[in-house]
Structure 1
């Protein structure tokens, strides 16, 4: 039904306008407790075979929604009710900002992809913190993705991230330092280890200073050279980070005939995202939690990422094409597959086909 509506109606409208309408609709569901709970009872994952633990947090399913959809923590409860095992809100910056000029969001239906150059448009850390502090009507695991305010110079980036962390870390189930969006000038330069180390060290002081320590992760780009992926992996081990999210959108356009600037997500990112995941797993083993995102469309993709060593799998772009019941369908199919392969729990699947670290040759 949704696919027909998308092909006949939704694709004719501006992508960002449809996105905002969706957010408002889900926001209403989030605020109306009886509706939210009814959806949760019907669609939220409840099969014990899907439960997984990562960095001390217990997830009802490994399948979650990546950052970028619910930028301002408006509808994460509704998204949890619709079946996502976790929702990563943001990217949030210390100061509110409008983002880049429109149009800035473009669908590529033939490639099951999206290009965005949003530029971290969000209402700022203080307002997002107020929403996250509200009592939740349904169980929701919420990660918070933080980025650099555009007008802040690189020399002040650490203080900017720390300001966001101080407001948000205590309200998050985990915190993500985003240094990998292509839509904020100079941001990806922070992935260089000599700049990333002091940034992560400063934010970690905030997360470890909470009454309940907040797990800290870093999100990296698919466009990093292999040796830079290795360097970030080594830094994560050195600093004792809880996880790495791989990957963000790409600036590459291989196989996609468009020169539209921005970050490309969806099916064209599938191969590189999986490649980076496998490289990270070979480098860090199970000592650092890996979250895989990029080109995830169906249960086969989720299963492949789990086997390759991801503890959690995120997606976003495919929901544009699959609709609101997509997460619930993924969860049901994933539970069936766990049992068909003779496992009692999804936890038994993680890293099953990943090579030992010693076998990795680069």
Structure 2
């Protein structure tokens, strides 16, 4: 049903407009307790075998929603009700900012991909604090992805990140330092080890006991990936999220040449191979010393299964939901439960890293 709706209706409208309408609908759902709880009872993962314990946090399922969908923590309970094992909100910056000029979000339907140049549009850390501090009627694991405010110069980046981290840490199950978006000028330069070390050191101090992860780009050269992995271990981070969107355009069809020509980060199916490659490299480098969160090109159960076998503790998706609809996470969790039993595993933890 959703695929027909998408093909006949949704794809005809501006992508960002549809996104905002979806968020509004989810926000309405979030304040209707009967419907929200009914969905949660029907769709949320309940199989004990799916539960994952990572960096001191209990996840009801290894499959969660990546940052970028709910930038301002407007509808985390509704998203959990649809079956996501965790919801990563943001990217949020210390100060509110409008992001880049519109249009800035483009579908590449043939390739099941998206190009975005949103530019960290968000209401700011303090607004998110007020939302996350509200009592919840549903259990939901919330990660908070933080980025650099655009107007802040590079030499003050660490202080800017730390400011957001200090405010949000008490309300987050984990924090993520995003230094890998291609849509904030100069941001990816912060992935260089000599700049990343002082930044992560200051943010980790600000985060206190809240687990801290770092999110990297798929466009990093292999030696740079190794350097970030080594640094994460050295600093005692909780994990690495791999990967963000790519500035590359390899593997796109000619039918999507107009969308491919747009500046911004590419997500979805074309990122699948590189994201898996980066995951395998990280696993070979750090083993189980860090939690690895795999995101990029995750579309279905087979992708989630492959990432877990390759060493991911958790798996995230976003673009796949645009093309698969609101029952996407529920279908993946149901399929994962069945496949675990078919292969003789009693838990997700048993299969992580079995094939590298």
Deviation above 6 Å: which 4+ runs of structure 1?
none
Aligned 1:237-276 pairs, distance under 5 A: 237-256=233-252, 257=257, 258-276=260-278
Q: Is the 8 A contact 2:309 2:351 kept in 1?
A: yes
Q: Deviations over 1:220-240 (max 9, x none)?
A: 000000000000000011101
Q: Which runs of 5+ in 1 are unaligned?
A: 355-362
Distance in 2 (alpha carbons) for counterparts of 1:27 and 1:200: 33
1:344 match: 346
Q: Deviations over 1:90-124 (max 9, x none)?
A: 00000000000000000001000000000000000
Q: Deviations over 1:148-168 (max 9, x none)?
A: 000111011011001101110
1:116 matches 2:112? no
2:326 match: 324
Q: Deviations over 1:238-264 (max 9, x none)?
A: 101000000000000012242211000
Offset of residue 35 of structure 1: 1.5
Q: Deviations over 1:175-204 (max 9, x none)?
A: 000000000000000000000000000011
Q: Deviations over 1:16-70 (max 9, x none)?
A: 0000000000011112222111110010000111011100101000000000000
Offset of residue 349 of structure 1: 0.7
1:203 match: 203
Distance in 2 (alpha carbons) for counterparts of 1:330 and 1:156: 42
Q: Which residue, out of 274, 280, 283, partners 2:282?
A: 280
CA RMSD of aligned residues (A): 0.6
Q: State the aligned residue count.
A: 350
1:219 match: 215
Distance in 2 (alpha carbons) for counterparts of 1:157 and 1:44: 38
Offset of residue 135 of structure 1: 0.6
Aligned 1:1-362 pairs, distance under 5 A: 1-208=1-208, 213-256=209-252, 257=257, 258-354=260-356
Query: Per the alignment, in what secondary structure is the counterpart of residue 310 of structure 1?
Result: coil
Q: Which runs of 5+ in 2 are unaligned?
A: none
